[in-house]
């Protein structure tokens, strides 16, 4: 059976949590929870030297590209992925899931370096690889098509995203894929909710509320857990109007059932738009000036942010584990993490004080464009953006610091 995200956090930030490599920039201590960069590089080279099969090549590529990304080597990570795509895209008919994974990984790295066009094309290549080999009715292809919708929404084309979500829902229902259909319905509701928060129009809020109410009241067989996601989303909307009762009801329900055994985000504010003067302490010229756009070409900053989720679902001990460049730009990130409310956690006999330790990668970037200056010169957009990726280790434990620095 195909698995789908069942928490709002997973829906908002699709992607599995890779193993993490964290480093304290204060003391240069290294934390390693997976294979080292040196090991993954050697493994990939050895694989290529013996002309390993495409699936092994792709697995070694993804492991090394992930390590390069975690080490902050975004350019090298993309190079590793693009070279592997060049070697293996022709094997999509034999290894569609593996090859599509290459395109998916490349799309995510492209987001973090501001390569919007490459992000868009990689998502399409990912979908096309699955569709060509498995057909449009395969649930994996349908979910990939939902990711295409996500990319259109993120790139500023919500009407296209809505059309894609509706088409996937209809196709999924016609082929008995209820969970895919429910997944698509939640995406439509999320898009409508985002629209309402942007317009602040009562009519848009009513439309989003109607979609959520329908998901909650009429879940398709096998998709009941998506009703919980809709409840969480509805509670978010209620909190916007000052009504915390629905959030409290969800918290009480989780507590009555003994708590959650994995992090489940119930509420958070969005990351606020970066204020160049306050968040970056920047005295650059006005937004449309060539000098400011030139300065943005060097933004390339990133940071791994860790924090605890306590037994009550509250966040504490937010800290920067390591990063590149100054940290003033992280203020909106810290402010957003502080607003989060997670489901209460399940207690066990062996864990008197349960807690999850989360690690998230944030990148300060700006999308490349060819029309930022009225010419065809390729420059960054004037307003930077923050990209996020969950890199929490599977065990959800705080990393153990290697004091030896090895």
Domain boundaries, the chain: 264-406
- Residue 34 contacts by C-beta under 8 Å, 6 or more apart in sequence? 18, 19, 20, 21, 67, 393
What does the pLDDT look like over 225-247, one tens digit per residue?
A: 899 889 988 988 888 778 888 88
Which strand (E) or helix (H) includes residue 178? helix 178-199
CA distance 393 to 249: 30
pLDDT at 167: 98
- Residue 290 contacts by C-beta under 8 Å, 6 or more apart in sequence? 373
Q: Calculate Rg over the CA atoms of the chain.
A: 22
- Sheet strands (E) in 159-300: 265-267
Q: What are the backbone dihedrals phi and psi of residue 380, each rounded to the nearest 5 degrees, phi first?
A: -75, 150
Q: What is the pTM of this model?
A: 0.80
Residue scoring higher pLDDT (244 or 59): 59
Percent of the chain with pLDDT over 70: 78
H helix count then E strand count, the chain: 14, 10
The total number of residues written for the chain in this structure: 406
99-108, 177-186, 336-345, 368-377, range with the lowest pLDDT: 368-377
CA distance 271 to 385: 10
CA 133 to chain centroid, in Å, comes to 26
Residue scoring higher pLDDT (351 or 243): 243
Contacts 24+ apart (CB under 8 A), 100-104: 100/126, 100/127, 100/129, 100/130, 100/144, 101/58, 101/62, 101/126, 102/58, 102/61, 102/62, 103/129, 104/147
Residue scoring higher pLDDT (375 or 305): 305
pLDDT at 178 over 60: yes
CA distances from 119 to 45, 112, 313 (A): 27, 9, 34
């Amino acid at each position: 059976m195909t698995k789908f995200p069942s928490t709002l956090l997973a829906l908002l930030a699709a992607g599995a949590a890779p193993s993490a490599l964290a480093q304290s920039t204060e003391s240069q201590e290294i934390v390693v929870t997976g294979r080292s960069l040196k090991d993954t590089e050697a493994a990939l080279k050895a694989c290529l030297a013996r002309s390993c099969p495409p699936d092994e090549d792709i697995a070694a590529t993804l492991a090394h590209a992930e390590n390069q990304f975690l080490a902050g080597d975004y350019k090298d990570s993309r190079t590793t992925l693009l070279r592997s795509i060049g070697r293996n895209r022709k094997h999509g008919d034999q290894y569609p899931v593996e090859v599509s994974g290459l395109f998916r990984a490349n799309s995510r790295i492209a987001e973090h370096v501001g390569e919007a066009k490459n992000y868009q094309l990689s998502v399409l290549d990912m979908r096309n690889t699955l569709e060509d080999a498995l057909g449009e009715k395969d649930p994996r292809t349908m979910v990939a098509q939902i990711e295409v919708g996500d990319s259109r929404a993120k790139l500023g084309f919500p009407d296209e995203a809505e059309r894609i979500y509706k088409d996937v829902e209809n196709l999924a229902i016609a082929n008995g894929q209820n969970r895919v259909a429910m997944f698509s319905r939640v995406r439509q509701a999320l898009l409508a909710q985002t629209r309402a928060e942007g317009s602040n129009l009562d009519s848009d809020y009513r439309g989003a509320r109607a979609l959520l109410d329908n998901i909650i009241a009429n879940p398709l067989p096998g998709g009941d857990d998506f009703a919980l996601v809709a409840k969480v989303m509805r509670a978010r909307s209620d909190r916007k109007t000052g009504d915390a009762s629905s959030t409290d009801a969800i918290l009480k329900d989780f507590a009555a059932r003994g708590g959650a055994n994995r992090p489940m985000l119930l509420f958070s504010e969005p990351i606020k738009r970066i204020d160049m003067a306050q968040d970056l302490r920047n005295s650059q010229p006005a937004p449309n000036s060539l000098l400011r756009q030139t300065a943005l070409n060097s933004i390339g900053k990133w940071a791994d942010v860790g924090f605890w989720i306590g037994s009550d679902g509250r966040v504490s001990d937010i800290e920067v584990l390591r990063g590149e460049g100054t940290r003033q730009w992280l203020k909106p990130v810290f402010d957003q993490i502080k607003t989060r409310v997670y489901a209460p956690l399940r207690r066990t006999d062996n864990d008197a004080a349960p807690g999850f330790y989360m690690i998230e990668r944030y990148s300060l970037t700006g999308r490349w464009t060819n029309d930022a200056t009225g010419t065809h010169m390729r420059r960054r957009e004037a307003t930077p953006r923050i990209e996020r990726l969950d890199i929490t280790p599977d065990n959800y434990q705080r990393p153990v610091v290697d004091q030896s620095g090895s």
